[in-house]
């Protein structure tokens, strides 16, 4: 199909679209803009559009995927994808054309997400990220199922107990958090890199936290694990860059997921009330997924070794000493 152009400077002009329909240019613009923002992926199945200096451009469905599906043809492995941020990322990735391997210890929820996404888009593998054999199997299963691995989202993690004092944390509890949050990320990256290096391309993204930059927001073991994730990310970015592999992490503020609500003993509103300088906007798992999508897509092709904060500005301000009300 050929592209159809409607000049925004000529709102009264009519243009013929596929099937011989005649539509008023200004109406078409308004309608497509509305549909684009309300149903971005549904409209993409039929038409995609953009602006140039003086033209409103409608592209046929055969051309739309180039512009809308930012991960078309990519294969991703996402750990901790049965719920929360990982689930939101899996759903967003598939909408953008990726095939997704969902890895989690919760088989029931993981299988449920896969069923909703469809067998052609998603598959599930049981994976305890502290078990190297499980991680290796998850990577190998993704390659066997979909033919390759382009993206790893190291998302699985735990918060542990909210122990405020260094005197109260048992050595075993400290090691447990480090083992899941840091060693688990290391194992995922290790085995993803194993299959990415021969292809001289790939993308490794780990979920960190605002606790990777500031202290006092969580327990000592959790904060230590997330600082470690950032250090690991930077070091891997330096080593793997020569193979064309990008390594980044994303650091969200408190997201009202099941895990966060249990850790902080808060409901959705309680989580959203935690200090942020950005008012009137609330952080949801989908917002973090959008940041991961950016880091996974070619839109960030020259970004590596970076820690992307999704925090409403909390890490740039001191809530106890601020001259602005």
The greatest distance separating any two alpha carbons of the chain, rounded to the nearest whole angstrom, comes to 76
> Which of the 8 DSSP states describes residue 298?
G
Distance between CA atoms of 43 and 62, rounded to whole angstroms? 13
Q: What angle do CA 12, 13, 15 make, to 5 degrees?
A: 140
Strand, helix or coil at 268? Answer: helix
End-to-end CA distance of the chain, in Å?
A: 56
> What are the residue numbers of the active site?
209, 222, 226
Strand, helix or coil at 247? Answer: strand
What the block records as the tokens of 89 is 């990322």
Considering Cα of 286, then 153, then 118, then 130, what sign does the dihedral take? Answer: negative
Ordered DSSP codes for 61-72: HHHHHHHH-TTT
Give buried/exposed letters for 295-309 (b at 16+ CB in 10 A, else e). Answer: bbbeebeeebbbbbb
């Amino acid at each position: 199909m050929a592209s159809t152009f409607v000049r925004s400077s000529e709102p009264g002009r009519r243009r013929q679209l596929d099937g011989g329909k005649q539509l008023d240019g200004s109406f078409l613009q308004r309608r497509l803009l509305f549909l684009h923002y309300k149903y971005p992926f549904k409209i993409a199945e039929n038409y995609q559009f953009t602006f140039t200096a003086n033209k409103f451009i409608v592209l046929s469905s055969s051309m739309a995927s180039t512009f809308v599906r930012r991960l078309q043809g990519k294969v991703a492995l996402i750990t901790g994808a049965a719920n929360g941020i990982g689930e939101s990322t899996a759903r967003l990735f598939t909408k953008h054309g990726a095939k997704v391997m969902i890895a989690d210890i919760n088989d029931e929820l993981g299988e449920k997400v896969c069923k909703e996404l469809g067998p052609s888009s998603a598959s599930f593998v049981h994976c305890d990220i502290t078990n190297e054999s499980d991680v290796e199997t998850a990577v190998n299963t993704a390659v066997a199922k979909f033919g390759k691995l382009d993206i790893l989202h190291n998302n699985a993690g735990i918060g542990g107990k909210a122990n405020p004092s260094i005197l109260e944390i048992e050595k075993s509890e400290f090691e447990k958090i480090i083992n899941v949050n840091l060693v688990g990320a290391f194992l995922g990256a290790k085995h993803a890199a194993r299959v990415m290096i021969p292809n001289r391309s790939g993308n490794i993204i780990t979920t960190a936290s605002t606790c990777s930059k500031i202290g006092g927001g969580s327990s000592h073991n959790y904060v230590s694990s997330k600082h470690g994730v950032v250090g690991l990310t930077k070091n891997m970015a330096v080593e793997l860059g020569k193979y064309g592999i990008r390594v980044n992490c994303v650091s969200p503020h408190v997201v009202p997921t099941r895990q966060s609500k249990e850790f902080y003993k808060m409901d959705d509103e309680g989580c959203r009330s935690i200090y942020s300088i950005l008012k009137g906007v609330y952080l949801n798992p989908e917002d973090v997924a959008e940041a991961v999508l950016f880091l996974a897509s070619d839109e960030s092709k020259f970004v590596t070794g970076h820690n992307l904060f999704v925090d409403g500005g909390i890490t740039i301000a001191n809530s106890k000493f601020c001259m602005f009300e």
